[in-house]
Structures are given as structure tokens and as C-alpha cells.
Amino acid sequence: MDLGIRGKRAIICAGNDGIALSAAEALAHAGVALTLQGPDTAVLSRAADHLRAVHGVCVDVVVIDVRTADGRRLLLEAAPNADILITSGDMPYGNMWFDWKEDIWRDTLQAGMLTPVLLISAILPGMIERGWGRIVNITAASHNSGLSASVFCGLAGFVSVAARQVSRHGIAINNLSSANLREPATYVHARPPGAVGEKAFARSVSGRAQFAQTQRFAAMAAFLCSQHCGSMIGQTVHMESETT
């Protein structure tokens, strides 16, 4: 399917690792230029080099902490006319309610709700002015932890209202959640050459299953960023990982 977004520019938060990187590659495969944000220069650069080589798209990197006001400002200055924003917060899951001290609540709220909300609020004016935009918040499964579930409910509530306020401007904001899909960086359309360990992993049953799950997740993320989902507003798409 032609997603209709060739030539657009996307900001990918946590774009050097895990499922956010998989979503970044799905967009690159569709011809989208990328700005990858992450904390590790070496890892981010390797991801960018791979995406440039395989997909021939422009890939910029921004090594900042997106949880800070300065970090968000620098990220948006690096891609001031971005058409697409993918946020990805690393929220804890598991454990019990009596382990969640006040500092854990603050850190989780900052990473999983406030950072995406502030990024969305900062990028929306430009999208409104240009009359088009796609925002996807990648979230961890919330049913495993009351902590992440509570934070995600706050983000989902914001998205539900804000998405309907800006939809008339050609903007779609949605959430994408996957249960039990937490793994290291996975290249969806072309695995890095010369990685013996990755080849062995891909040949294994669990490797093939996880690779297929990541492909489906990345494809859904790319679809939510496409021209075809303009009427999908303020929704949360839950994708279940296979257990076998």
C-alpha cells in the first residue's frame, strides 16, 4: 500500500532503540525523512547510517534528553516543520503498588505523560498552520502495572480531547500499545549485514516470531502516520503479541 507520505519529515523519539526504531524504519521504507532522538550518540549514529544506506532517505540525529524543556526545544528546532511525531516513553511495568514511591510516580509521569503532552503541544501550532499532521504515541502494555496504566490513562485522556480539537486542521493523533513487545532494536525491512548473532536469532523459532510481531507493529505505526487514517481520531490501538 502506498501510504501517501513520501517526502514528509518525521520526528522519532527514542529512535535509536527497540520498537520506535522499527517504526522509524517502516516510515523510511515509505520514503519519509527522519529526525531520530536518543541519548546515545554511537547507537543513534549506527541506526541513522543503516536507514540512510538501506532506504536512501535523509536521516538527522539529535542527541538530547527529551524529558527536559531544553531538550524538547532543541529537538523541535532540529525539525521545525515536521509532519509526523512519534513519541515513545519507557515506563516501568510489573511490581506492586507498595513499591511506587513518590519519586517513581514523578519520573513515570514525566516520561510517560508530561513529555509526550508537552511535545505534542509544541508541535501542533506548526501542523495546524500547514494543515496536516500525524502524531502517534507508542506506549507499553498498561495491564501489567497500575503505575503505567495510570500514567497512560492520563495521556489517553489528553489525546482523546486534543485530537478532536485539531482534527479539522487535517491532524490525526492516536496511541499505539502493544502487550509484551519489548525487545532490542529490530530492523524491519533489512537486517544489518554481518551480524552473526542476529542471523542466528532470526533463524530461531522465537526470533522469527518476534521479528514478525515487530513487523506488524511497525506497519501499524506507519499506517497511523499515513494519508489513510485522517478520520481515525483520538484512538488507542492495542496490538497483542503472540505467545507461541
Q: Do 25 and 188 meet the contact criterion of CB atoms below 8 Å apart? A: yes
- For residue 34, what pLDDT is reported? 98
Q: Is residue 1 part of a domain?
A: no
Q: Which residues contact 24 (CB under 8 A, 6 or more apart)?
A: 10, 12, 15, 34, 36, 47, 51, 86
Averaged pLDDT for residues 208-216: 66
3-state secondary structure 130-187: HCCEEEEEEEECCCCCHHHHHHHHHHHHHHHHHHHHHHHHCEEEEEEEEECCCCCCCC
Per-residue pLDDT of 142-152, as tens digits, reads: 555 778 888 88
We report the CATH number of the domain holding residue 70 as 3.40.50.720
Judge whether 2 lies within some domain: no
Whether residue 205 is contained in a domain is answered as yes
Q: What is the pLDDT of residues 23-51, one digit of tens each?
A: 999 999 999 999 999 988 999 999 999 99
Number of domains in the chain: 1
Q: Is the residue at 116 inside a domain?
A: yes
What is the C-alpha to C-alpha distance for residues 149 and 147, in angstroms, rounded to an integer? 5
φ, ψ (nearest 5 deg) of residue 60: -105, 155
Taking only the tens place, the pLDDT of each residue in 50-100 is: 999 999 999 999 999 999 999 999 999 999 999 999 998 666 555 677 778
Q: 206 is written with which cell numbers?
A: 522465537
Per-residue model confidence (pLDDT) at position 200: 40
pTM, entire model: 0.86
pLDDT at 125 exceeding the cut of 80? yes
Q: How confident is the model at residue 212 (pLDDT cuts 50, 70, 90)?
A: low
Mean of the per-residue pLDDT values of the chain: 84
Residue 222 lies in a domain: yes
Task: Determine, yes or no, domain membership for 4.
Answer: no
Task: Give the structural domain span for 99.
Answer: 9-240
Task: Specify if 3 maps to a domain.
Answer: no
Q: Does a structural domain hold residue 26?
A: yes
> What is the pLDDT at residue 8?
98
Can you tell me the distance from the alpha carbon of 131 to that of 105, in angstroms, rounded to the nearest whole number?
A: 36
Cell representation of residue 138: 507508542
All cell numbers assigned to 163: 485530537
